[in-house]
Structure 1
Amino acid sequence: MDGDFSDLMQWFHSLDTELLSSLGRVLAIALVTIALNTFIRRLITTTAERYKKHKNSLEKVKRVDTLARVCRSVFSILLWITAITIALASFGFTITPILTTAGVSGIAIGFATQSLIKDYFSGFIILLEGQIRLGDIVELGGVIGEVEEMTLRYVRLRNLAGDVIFVPNGNITNVTNKSLHFSYALIDIGVAYREDVDEVTDIILATARALQTAPETKHLILEDAELFGVDKWADSSIVVRMRIKVKAGEQWKIRRAYLRRLKYAFDSAGIEIPYPHLTVYAGQLKDGTAPPFYLHKQ
């Protein structure tokens, strides 16, 4: 036992004092970095929470949350890069050659990582302009979903089916934000050609007014319904278009509630909701008369 202890002590004495000192500095750098990183992240979170208390707009609150989330990530990355650089210097590595080599190789790497650079640059612009915020319902590249996470690299969406979609920021060319400031529930209503258009429009507006005063929906509707009138003549119906201005992101809920009420209103008034019609042509005999046409199997 004493021999093993002696061997251990000799091993410690054989270690280079400078190496032990460098390891101690690295440990100190790591501890300081962890503490500083925790402090900065908490400071950003606290500042964001204080800022949100003075904002009565949901849009501004969402933007603050998004900025705070990205700032925490960026500061953490920069802090650890700085810590690693200082740690390397404590072992005697000269930083200047490393930076020079990184600069030269960075040019070559840059050509190979153009898409990655484009992602980060596009993410910075999107974040700076406030085009997308956490919780928004957006359409990016033909994909619609709720924004669950935003980084400088990608946007994470979750669609109605629960699928998670990652959209690289560099692939985002057009942003359709369906929950910014306010929304419209745009509704096309088809009725049979035989119906009186004026009667139909009266029922449409009356149903909208009833929805506007209903306890479960009145707080979501911002203005009276806007009736555009007859929008087109379809194959089997006359299409009347209208819309309702609602709070941001509530257009789907209001649309479903309105169509439900309108169905009952049309049924009560005897308004026919059309369905596709099929005209069957049986042909013509040589004498100009129509041939017998059997609707059942003989």
Structure 2
Amino acid sequence: MIFQSFFNNPITLIILIIGGAIILHHVIGLIIAGIVQRAIRPHGLEKQADSNKRKDTLSNVFSATARLAIWLVAIGAVFGALRFDLSAVATGAGFLGIVIGLGAQATIRDYLAGIAILIENQYRVGDIVTLSGGTTGLGTSGLVEEISLRITKLRDLDGTLNIVRNGEASVITNRTYQYSSVVLDVGVAYDSDIDAVEKVMNSVGKAMQKDEAFEKRINEPIAFLRVDQFAASSIIVKAVGTVEPAAQWEIAGEYRRRLLKAFAKEGIEISLPQVVVHQK
């Protein structure tokens, strides 16, 4: 009798429901993270860092979805404990749902696109991407800070947070997927010894790969590729290399710094625009 009266008390039931929802809210994230950790393994060319990004992204999205479901069920249970008649509300909500549904096509598209992003592993939290499309067709670039089923949050170099609806991104450019490339164009004077230029560029690239600060982040050292074009006042040579995701900008900057010093030491001139004046 005591237990029956205890559980028949609406206030008691509401406290239990809310308390249980709070506990599940905190526990479900750990449960989902554990499941994802066991389910996701690196495959093919995917490295451990890429696998970890995917795990974090899936854990965050699934946890947020599960927590939303928990609170929706809890709210329904609270109404049930209060013996609130939901039939009249459901009737009105049905009509309202039809009206809202007519204007919710874009939202549905966003959710479907979000599901595709996760299933196809198009990008993860921590990637640097450009999302293009929508009404303007212009691209929005930045570091992926958060992915949900409806939106993606990108932080650009200026610190601005851009929020992009998933359904608006028709073209996705991921600059940090599996590996990144360093591609450099260097202009040298026309009287330069190209063989010497190639030797110096390759030497700088190999030295960087042996440097403890960079050796774990350089997959293939930056090396001379070809004479790319004859410009107005210089010969343009191209160098390429592969590095760990998102390391291309730092490594390219350090390579340029070292190359400038090496060229100066070997007497190789980096050409500047020149104007020839003829006097009559």
TM-score range, shorter chain: 0.7 to 0.9
Kept after mapping to 1: 8 A contact 2:29/2:63:
yes
1:217 Cα deviation from its structure 2 partner: 1.5
Q: Which residue of 2 aligns with 1:208?
A: 205
User: Is structure 2 residue 261 aligned with structure 1 residue 264?
Assistant: yes
Q: Which residue of 1 aligns with 2:17?
A: 29
Q: Which residue of 1 aligns with 2:121?
A: 130
1:260 aligned counterpart, secondary structure: helix
Kept after mapping to 2: 8 A contact 1:191/1:271:
yes
Aligned length: 264
Tell me the amino acid that sits aligned with residue 30 of structure 1.
I
1:71-90 matches, within 5 Å, as 71-90=62-81
Tell me the amino acid that sits aligned with residue 155 of structure 1.
T
Query: Structure 1 pair 39/224, CA: closer, same or farther in 2 (3 Å)?
Result: closer
User: Is structure 2 residue 146 aligned with structure 1 residue 149?
Assistant: yes
Query: Structure 1 pair 271/221, CA: closer, same or farther in 2 (3 Å)?
Result: same
Measure the CA separation in 2 of the matches of 1:62 and 1:68: 10
1:59 Cα deviation from its structure 2 partner: 0.7
Kept after mapping to 2: 8 A contact 1:85/1:95:
no
Measure the CA separation in 1 of the matches of 2:120 and 2:197: 44
Percent sequence identity is 34
User: Is structure 2 residue 62 aligned with structure 1 residue 65?
Assistant: no
Query: Structure 1 pair 42/224, CA: closer, same or farther in 2 (3 Å)?
Result: closer
Measure the CA separation in 2 of the matches of 1:210 and 1:38: 50
Kept after mapping to 1: 8 A contact 2:205/2:223:
no
Kept after mapping to 2: 8 A contact 1:188/1:239:
yes
1:262 Cα deviation from its structure 2 partner: 0.6
Measure the CA separation in 2 of the matches of 1:264 and 1:168: 46
Tell me the amino acid that sits aligned with residue 154 of structure 1.
I
Measure the CA separation in 2 of the matches of 1:215 and 1:86: 59
**Coordinate RMSD, CA, aligned:** 2.5
1:200-279 matches, within 5 Å, as 200-279=197-276
1:98 Cα deviation from its structure 2 partner: 3.7
For structure 1, the residue ranges without an aligned partner over 5 or more in a row are: 1-16, 283-289, 291-298
Measure the CA separation in 2 of the matches of 1:42 and 1:110: 34
Measure the CA separation in 2 of the matches of 1:38 and 1:278: 70
For structure 2, the residue ranges without an aligned partner over 5 or more in a row are: 133-138
1:37-91 residue CA offsets vs partner (Å, 9 max, x unmatched): 2232232234445668x76711111111111111111011111111212222333
TM-score under structure 1 length normalisation: 0.79
Measure the CA separation in 2 of the matches of 1:219 and 1:29: 51
Kept after mapping to 1: 8 A contact 2:208/2:221:
no
User: Is structure 2 residue 104 aligned with structure 1 residue 113?
Assistant: yes
Q: Which of 167, 173, 183 is residue 170 of structure 2 equivalent to?
A: 173
1:237 Cα deviation from its structure 2 partner: 1.4
Kept after mapping to 1: 8 A contact 2:114/2:151:
yes
Measure the CA separation in 2 of the matches of 1:281 and 1:119: 64
129-138 vs 87-96, which moves further: 87-96
Tell me the amino acid that sits aligned with residue 247 of structure 1.
E
Q: Which residue of 1 aligns with 2:136?
A: none
Measure the CA separation in 2 of the matches of 1:86 and 1:217: 57
Measure the CA separation in 2 of the matches of 1:230 and 1:146: 34
2:218 aligned counterpart, secondary structure: coil
